[in-house]
Amino acid sequence: MSPSNKVHSNMRCVLGLVTLLLTLVAFGPSTALAAGVWSAPTAIESGGSLYSVSCSSATFCAAFGDNDATTYNGTSWSAPTKIGGVAYIINSVSCPSATFCVAEAGGDYNGNGTNALTYNGTSWSATALAVGFFSSVSCPSVTFCLGVGGDTYDGPDALTYNGTSWSAPTQIIDGNGGLSSVSCSSATFCAAIAFGGTLGKGTAGALTYNGTSWTTPTQIDDDVASAGRQNIDSLSCPSATFCVAVDVNGNALTYNGTSWSAPTLIDGGNGGVGGTFSVSCSSATFCVAVDRKGNALTYNGTSWTTPTKVGGVGGFDAVSCPSATFCGAAGFGGQGEIALTYTTSPREGQASASVKIEKFKVTTSSLVVTIKTSRAGTVTITGPGLKKTTRTVAAGTRVMTVVLTKAGKAERAGRKKIKLSVSLKTSIKTVSRSVEIKL
């Protein structure tokens, strides 16, 4: 290779590296989790709490209190509807679609009046179950649900639904134990949390279902909670190779398809009844957990954010995230039952704006900048040694030429670094990007 060609080759490599670094510095990793926003809580009914929620999409959720149900249509929550014949708290609801949900109605602690409530998109109906207590249900589709419960509050039974009818209960663990939570990603994978029995008091175990049979419970958490209470309250499995469980002492545990991690503290200082209470994951890179003190935190596949208090929420009881851009949540506030939503995508009337520095080229008298804007607006380019340049642009890619001042030409001769700043002012907001370049 001749010296001249070698120089040009090196220059191309440097320009390519500069473009790559510019992209990383200006925009960050493409997988970065977008900042989310919680809506203001909606008061559903005075007194009590909403104990469970399930969302099939950003346009449908169902939530339950003692014996009342509310639904979300993408814009607002409905007034509460009383469900006849339900005598006790509905602890769990699962909605794989906007026209099908299953909720468990536990009757009382002696198993009187246990029902499965089914929603068809318009109304709820009840089916009596041959099980004393129904503590949790998960429906990955309209043709498969799995519920756990038993003859008593600490019952160890599982039963399935095929889209038409429920199976008889099957005992799956030691009769002195209990099952507190279940999550299914499909008809061939479910995970459940067991407590008590051979596991010991205050110790939690996990077991899995492959569509035919259950494994034996394996101890995963011995961080003892209050006497007589299981310490893992919530479980979410978006796939057969990823689950998250949270306990009442603020710990999270993850499952990789083979084994569980050790408990990791994510919600410090909220032990006991105030600890992390519910978790929901749409994938292995997005989860939201909430606690009984009104805090929420998110997971991006690597780490959890710090707990953040959500305004107007006294405490959360449940959260459901059908995607990485939307969650529904339920709990209680000063006004009693409340429901709210979390979104990381722009809502109508609250659209975002962005500007990107695609690339740049330095000439003897100017700086040529290629930018990309998501919305129409006014672009302004500034920097030491640059003549401030402003132009009205449409959405899309545009090349702008910025004149070097006398000082800028001198800086170019000395190959000095400057900070290039580009801002976009739109009708809704102003955004900017900056990067250090060498003239």
> What's the pLDDT tens digit per position in 351-400?
567 888 888 888 888 889 999 888 778 899 998 889 999 988 878 888 99
Q: Is residue 219 part of a domain?
A: yes
* Final residue belonging to a domain, choices 295, 320, 343: 343
The verdict on 141 and 167 lying in the same domain is yes
The two tokens of residue 70 are: 């509310």
Residue 428: pLDDT band with limits 50, 70, 90: low
Residue 22 within any structural domain of the chain: no
**Rounded mean pLDDT of 335-354?**
74
Q: Is 163 a member of any domain?
A: yes
pLDDT value of residue 345: 63
pLDDT of residue 427: 59
Residues 319 and 359 in one domain: no
How far is C-alpha 362 from the geometric centre of its chain's CA atoms?
A: 44
Q: What's the pLDDT tens digit per position in 387-406? A: 999 988 878 888 999 998 98
Domain boundary among 308, 343, 378: 343
Asked if residue 21 belongs to a domain, the reply is no
Report the pLDDT averaged over residues 310-339.
92
Query: Hunting for tokens 């642009």 — which residue is that?
Result: 393
* Mean pLDDT within 8-27: 35
**310 and 428 assigned to the same domain:** no
| 268 and 206 within one domain | yes
Asked if pLDDT for residue 318 goes beyond 90, the answer is yes
Q: Is this model's pTM higher than 0.95 or not?
A: no
Give 310-370 as a 3 state SS string.
CCCCCEEEEEEEEECCEEEEEEEECCEEEEEEEECCCCCCCCCCCEEEEEEEECCCEEEEE
Q: Which domain holds residue 287?
A: 37-343
| 163 and 116, same domain (yes or no) | yes
Q: Are residues 356 and 338 in the same domain?
A: no
The domain spanning residue 428 has which CATH number? 2.60.40.10
Amino acid at 55: C
Distances in whole angstroms, Cα of residue 124 to Cα of each of 105, 117, 241, 350: 12, 6, 34, 35
Task: Please report where in the chains the tokens 């246990």 appear, as a residue.
Answer: 114
Same domain for 252 and 289, yes or no, is yes
Helices and strands (H, E) in the chain, number of each type: 2, 36
* CATH number for 286: 2.130.10.10
- Please check whether residue 3 lies inside any domain of the structure: no
Q: Are residues 179 and 302 in the same domain?
A: yes
* Total tally of structural domains belonging to the chain: 2
335 and 365 share one domain: no
Confidence of residue 304 (pLDDT cuts 50, 70, 90): very high
What does the alpha-carbon distance between residue 238 and residue 282 come to, in Å, rounded to a whole number? 6
Least confident of 121-130, 143-152, 153-162, 227-236: 227-236
Q: Are residues 220 and 117 in the same domain?
A: yes
Range in 145-154, 190-199, 288-297 the model is least confident about: 145-154
pLDDT greater than 60 at residue 263: yes
| 181: nearest Cα among 129, 126, 120, 255 | 255
pLDDT value of residue 233: 82
Is 323 inside a domain boundary? yes
Check if the beta carbon of residue 153 is closer than 8 Å to that of residue 114.
no
User: Is residue 32 included in any domain, yes or no?
Assistant: no
Q: Please indicate, yes or no, whether residues 267 and 376 belong to a single structural domain of this protein.
A: no
Which residue has 């009342």 as its token pair? 68
Supply angle C-alpha 72, 138, 287, rounded to 5: 70
Q: Are 377 and 415 within one domain?
A: yes
237 pLDDT higher than 70: yes
Domain final position from 323, 343, 363? 343
Per-residue model confidence (pLDDT) at position 18: 37
Contact 198, 164 (CB under 8 A): no
